[in-house]
């Protein structure tokens, strides 16, 4: 049975890394001693080791050990033996390119679908969708495919921002970009606001956190909602 948490962000403004999620994560990872961390998105270009240290410090608060998948000689066997998995944020193009290059996209999908608890934040949440096409990131590398894990039957637009009526910016809004996506794609898109996260347990999908999601369906007006079950 799938057990998944997909958060828009790892860090709320003014808080420590993962601080707002720790009470939920203590329950989510109950009984698991070690979390295998996938650092490939590397926010700001920091090293894999430095990123893993940030994560380890956060999880130490709930008495969990963190090991970076990059520290293993064989990432395939590392994931196959993982008792829990976390993929952090950063650049989704880089993350997806690395997962394919290291031949662990399919391994990761199989592990999660067979019940290994999975936490994703930002880019790590983006890859849980059908494709990565609703990422906000720049294409700094070229992945062989935009197809991702397909753990849910929709895409996530993390860090979703509502249009600011006071802004003098005349460019496209996030809503405009997603409408453009639906000119060529039919996958539902969930605009996930900061502080909100998706919890999956088996076939049950629940939106948690302080905000509703902005839901985008092809040929329909966007709307606010918490029901993330799409046919």
Query: Which of these is catalytic: 159, 164, 229, 231?
Result: 159
Active site annotation includes 70: no
Q: Which of these, 82, 91, 221, lies nearest to 158 by C-alpha position?
A: 91
φ and ψ of 125, to 5 deg: -85, -40
> Is 122 within 8 Å of 9 (Cβ atoms)?
yes
Active site annotation includes 47: no
> ∠169-171-173 over CA atoms, to 5°?
95
Distance between CA 7 and CA 99 in Å, rounded?
20
φ and ψ of 176, to 5 deg: -60, -45
Query: Which of these is catalytic: 10, 122, 125, 196?
Result: 122
Active site annotation includes 196: no
Q: Residue 6 belongs to what H/E stretch? A: strand 3-7
Q: Which of these, 20, 199, 14, 230, lies nearest to 120 by C-alpha position?
A: 199
Q: Give the residues across from 216 on adjacent strands.
A: 189
> Which SS3 state, helix, strand or coil, does residue 140 take?
coil
Distance between CA 143 and CA 9 in Å, rounded?
23
- 167: number of Cβ within 10 Å: 9
Task: Provide the annotated active-site residues.
Answer: 122, 137, 159
């Amino acid at each position: 049975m799938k057990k998944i948490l997909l958060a828009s962000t790892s860090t709320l403004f003014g808080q420590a890394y993962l601080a707002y999620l720790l009470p939920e994560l203590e329950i989510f990872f109950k009984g698991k001693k070690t979390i295998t961390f996938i650092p490939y998105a590397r926010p700001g270009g920091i090293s894999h080791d430095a990123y893993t240290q940030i994560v380890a410090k956060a999880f130490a608060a709930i008495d969990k050990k963190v090991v970076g998948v990059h520290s293993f000689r064989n990432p395939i066997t590392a994931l196959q033996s993982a008792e829990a998995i976390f993929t952090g944020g950063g650049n989704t193009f880089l993350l997806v390119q690395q997962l394919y290059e290291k031949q662990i996209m399919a391994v990761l999908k199989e592990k999660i679908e067979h019940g290994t608890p999975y936490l994703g934040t930002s880019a790590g949440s983006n890859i849980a969708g059908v494709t990565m096409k609703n990422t906000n990131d720049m294409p700094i590398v070229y992945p062989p495919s935009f197809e991702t894990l397909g753990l849910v039957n929709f895409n996530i637009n993390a860090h979703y921002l509502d249009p600011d009526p006071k802004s003098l910016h005349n460019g496209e809004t996030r809503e405009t970009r997603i409408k453009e996506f639906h000119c060529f794609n039919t996958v539902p898109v969930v605009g996930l606001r900061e502080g909100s996260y998706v919890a999956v347990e088996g076939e049950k999908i629940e939106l948690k956190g302080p905000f509703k999601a902005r839901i985008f369906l092809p040929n329909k007006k966007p709307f606010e909602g918490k029901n993330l079950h799409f046919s």
